[in-house]
C-alpha cells in the first residue's frame, strides 16, 4: 500500500477482488500468469541489491510462483513470526482507514493485479506490490513495531499532518535503503517490486542517499511517478524499532517548524 492510493476524489480503473466466505479470492489463469511473470522477473534481481534481512524474510514467506498467494496463506506465516495480518481492501482507501488498520497490526492489501498493459509500471499499488513488496518485512518484529506505532500516530494526528506523515512512510516503508556489511541495499516495497528502481536506487550515481533522520525525511518532498531523487539510508532495522518508541507527532511538529526542503525534482506535468 502506498500513499498514491489515498488522494481525495481519485478513481481507480481496477476493481478489488472480494474474498468469498472462506477468505479465498478467485484469480483467472491470466492473472496468475501475470503474477508468475512478475515474480520470476524480480527474484533474480535481488542478490547484491536487496537487504539480506529482506531476502531472508522473502524465504520465510515462501510465496508461490505460479499463482497469486491467498490472504489466509500469508496470514499463517505472519502470525507465526510477528502476529501481523494482511487485510484485503479496495485500491483506494482513506488515511483514517489506513492508519486504523496499521494500528491494529493489519496491513492493507489491494487485491487486484495489474494488466499486461501496466506490467512495467503501475502508479497505484496492486497485489504484487503489496504482497511481494510489503509482506516479507512484516516478519521482522522491528519493522512491525514501527508500522504499528506509525498507524497509532496517524490516528492521533491532525488531518493537516497526514501528508507530512506520508513522507515518513514513503522514505522508509516504500523507498527505504539500509547499510549492510556488503554496502547499501534496498528494503522499501516500492523498490523491491520495481526492477528498474531496484537497480537505480542501489547502483545509480544520480540520486542523493542520505543517512536516515526522521525529521529530515518528514521535510523532504517526493513525486510518485518518477524514480526517487532522494533516498534515506538506515544504519540498521534497529533504527526503525527505536523510532517506534519515539513520539512521532513531536517529530512532525518539529519538521513543520523547520519547514519543507526545496524539491530536488521538476514539477509534475499535468496533461
Question: Is residue 267 a part of any domain in this protein?
Answer: no
Report the pLDDT value the prediction gives residue 6, as an integer from 0 to 100.
45
> How does pLDDT run across 147-203, given as a tens digit for each residue?
999 999 999 999 999 999 999 999 999 999 999 999 999 999 999 999 999 999 999
Question: Is residue 52 a part of any domain in this protein?
Answer: yes
Reported confidence tier of residue 271, pLDDT bands at 50, 70, 90? low
Residue 230 has pLDDT above 50, yes or no: yes
Structural domain of 237? 3-258
Report the pLDDT value the prediction gives residue 268, as an integer from 0 to 100.
82
Number of other CB atoms surrounding residue 102 within 10 Å: 27
Question: Is residue 265 a part of any domain in this protein?
Answer: no
Which CATH number does the domain housing residue 43 bear? 1.10.800.10
174 labelled binding-site residue: yes
For the purposes of burial, counting CB atoms within 10 Å of the CB of 144, is it exposed (0-12), middle (13-18) or buried (19 or more)? buried
Question: Is residue 72 a part of any domain in this protein?
Answer: yes
Question: Is residue 61 a part of any domain in this protein?
Answer: yes
Mean pLDDT of 90-99: 87
Residue 51 has pLDDT above 60, yes or no: yes
124 labelled binding-site residue: no
197 labelled binding-site residue: no
- The total of structural domains in the chain comes to 1
Question: Is residue 270 a part of any domain in this protein?
Answer: no
Question: Is residue 266 a part of any domain in this protein?
Answer: no
Reported confidence tier of residue 13, pLDDT bands at 50, 70, 90? confident
Cβ-contact 224, 126 below 8 angstroms? no
Cβ-contact 62, 78 below 8 angstroms? no
Cβ-contact 133, 189 below 8 angstroms? yes
Question: Is residue 155 a part of any domain in this protein?
Answer: yes
**What is the reported pTM?**
0.94
Reported confidence tier of residue 270, pLDDT bands at 50, 70, 90? low
Cβ-contact 218, 251 below 8 angstroms? yes
Amino acid at each position: 500500500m502506498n500513499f498514491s492510493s489515498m488522494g481525495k476524489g481519485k478513481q481507480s480503473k481496477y476493481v478489488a477482488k472480494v474474498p468469498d466466505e472462506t477468505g479465498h479470492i478467485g484469480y483467472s489463469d491470466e492473472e496468475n500468469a501475470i503474477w508468475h511473470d512478475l515474480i520470476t522477473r524480480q527474484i533474480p534481481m535481488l542478490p547484491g541489491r536487496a537487504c539480506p534481512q529482506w531476502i531472508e524474510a522473502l524465504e520465510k514467506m515462501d510465496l508461490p510462483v505460479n499463482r497469486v498467494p491467498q490472504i489466509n496463506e500469508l496470514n499463517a506465516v505472519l502470525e507465526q513470526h510477528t502476529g501481523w495480518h494482511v487485510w484485503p481492501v479496495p485500491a483506494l482507501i482513506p488515511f483514517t482507514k489506513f492508519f486504523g488498520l496499521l494500528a491494529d497490526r493489519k496491513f492493507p492489501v489491494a487485491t487486484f493485479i495489474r494488466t499486461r498493459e501496466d506490467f512495467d509500471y503501475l502508479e497505484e499499488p496492486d497485489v504484487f506490490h503489496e504482497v511481494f513488496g510489503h509482506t516479507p518485512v512484516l516478519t521482522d518484529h522491528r519493522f512491525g513495531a514501527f508500522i504499528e506505532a506509525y498507524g497509532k500516530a496517524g490516528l492521533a494526528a491532525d488531518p493537516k499532518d497526514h501528508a507530512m506523515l506520508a513522507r515518513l512512510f514513503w522514505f522508509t516503508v516504500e523507498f527505504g535503503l539500509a547499510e549492510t556489511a556488503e554496502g547499501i541495499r534496498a528494503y522499501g516495497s516500492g523498490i523491491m517490486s520495481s526492477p528498474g528502481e531496484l537497480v537505480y536506487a542501489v547502483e545509480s550515481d544520480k540520486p542523493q542517499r542520505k543517512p536516515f533522520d526522521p525529521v529530515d525525511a518528514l521535510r523532504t518532498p517526493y513525486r510518485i511517478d518518477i524514480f526517487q531523487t532522494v533516498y534515506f539510508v538506515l544504519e540498521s532495522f534497529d533504527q526503525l524499532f527505536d523510532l517506534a518508541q519515539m513520539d512521532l507527532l513531536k517529530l512532525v511538529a518539529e519538521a513543520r517548524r523547520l519547514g519543507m526542503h526545496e524539491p530536488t525534482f521538476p514539477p509534475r506535468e499535468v496533461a
